[in-house]
């Protein structure tokens, strides 16, 4: 799990899962790029936490749905450290909408979600590709969701975008080998402000309890839980793994698939 000296870009890493991934990678010796779109103060706080642990950091503002921003993030990374070893495509967005209410989503909603969740990941990989190919090594981890496997989630558009991201992971794993490994991690529920901001503290607490009751492992996931899975796919222990979609959801997908607990 030693990643000393490797350079890792983590998109959407100001808060939540992205911040946890960045800090975990930094704890394994990586130099980390903390990317944010709007959450500058939170990104600065995450960078300060990393620096307090003697982790080299670079703060990069940029919207991954904008191709020019993707290239700028990569350019700034190369200018500082001269290489890119790891890319974690964590940046994501959604719109909450009842799956049965087809009028709750517009074509623009689909396009906006796809621009970040699918196209943004593609653009970041494309921007990093020449540098990873040149050095003969690269590890890409796309942060997807069990929504992309089971069809559940915050909205149909979100689930569909994550399904597309899973398929793209396999396509790119095949086409970018042997130099670059491409994998995906599919979290289930994880306790972040994404839920607490929307549902409030009381609603959030109910969601946490439901997650514990409805999973075989009786656990509500944390950002650190999923970050461990991401870091594993970045590290030496996963050198023989590519094109994999790893579900990190306390077994929630088993209950959705119709397997009942006794």
- Nearest 5°: CA angle at 128, between 126 and 133? 100
> What pLDDT score does 250 carry?
78
Asked whether the predicted pLDDT for residue 202 surpasses 60, the reply is: yes
CB 105 within 8 A of CB 97: yes
- Multiple choice CATH, 7-194+223-250, 3.40.50.300, 3.40.1160.10, 3.40.50.720, 3.40.800.20: 3.40.50.720
CB 140 within 8 A of CB 125: yes
Asked whether the predicted pLDDT for residue 209 surpasses 90, the reply is: no
Asked whether the predicted pLDDT for residue 251 surpasses 60, the reply is: yes
Which residue in 36, 114, 122, 158 is the catalytic one? 158
> In percent, how much of the chain has pLDDT > 90?
79
CA–CA gap between residue 225 and residue 246 (Å, rounded): 13
158 is catalytic: yes
> What pLDDT score does 260 carry?
38
pLDDT tens readout for residues 3-12 = 999 999 999 9
Instruction: Determine the average pLDDT of the residues in 39-54.
Output: 97
CB 216 within 8 A of CB 255: yes
Whether omega for the bond prior to residue 178 falls within 30 degrees of 0, making it cis, is yes
CB 187 within 8 A of CB 248: yes
108 contact partners, CB below 8 Å, separation of at least 6: none
* H/E segment holding residue 19: helix 16-27
3-state secondary structure of 223: helix
> What pLDDT score does 199 carry?
66
pTM for this model (two decimals): 0.92
Asked whether the predicted pLDDT for residue 181 surpasses 90, the reply is: yes
CB 155 within 8 A of CB 99: yes
């Amino acid at each position: 799990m030693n990643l000393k000296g490797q350079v890792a870009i983590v998109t959407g890493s100001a808060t939540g899962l992205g911040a946890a991934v960045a800090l975990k990678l930094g704890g394994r010796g990586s130099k980390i790029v903390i990317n944010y779109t709007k959450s500058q103060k939170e990104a600065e706080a995450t960078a300060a936490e990393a620096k307090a642990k003697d982790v080299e950091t670079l703060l990069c503002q940029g919207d991954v749905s904008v191709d020019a921003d993707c290239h700028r993030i990569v350019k700034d990374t190369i200018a500082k450290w001269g290489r890119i070893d790891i890319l974690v495509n964590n940046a994501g967005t959604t719109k909450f909408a009842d799956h049965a209410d087809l009028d709750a989503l517009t074509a623009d909603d689909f396009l906006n979600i796809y621009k970040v969740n699918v196209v943004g990941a593609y653009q970041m990989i494309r921007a990093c590709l020449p540098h990873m190919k040149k050095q003969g090594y690269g590890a890409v981890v796309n942060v997807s969701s069990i929504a992309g496997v089971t069809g559940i989630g915050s909205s149909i558009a979100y689930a569909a975008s994550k399904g597309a991201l899973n398929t793209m992971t396999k396509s790119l794993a095949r086409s970018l080998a042997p130099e670059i490994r491409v994998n995906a991690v599919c979290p289930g529920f994880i306790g972040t402000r994404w839920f607490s901001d929307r549902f409030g503290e009381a609603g959030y607490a109910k969601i946490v309890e439901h997650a514990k009751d409805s999973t075989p492992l009786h656990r509500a996931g944390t950002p650190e839980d999923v970050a461990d899975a991401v870091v594993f796919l970045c590290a030496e222990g996963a050198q023989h793994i590519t094109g994999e979609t790893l579900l990190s959801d306390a077994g929630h997908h088993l209950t959705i698939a119709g397997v009942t607990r006794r």
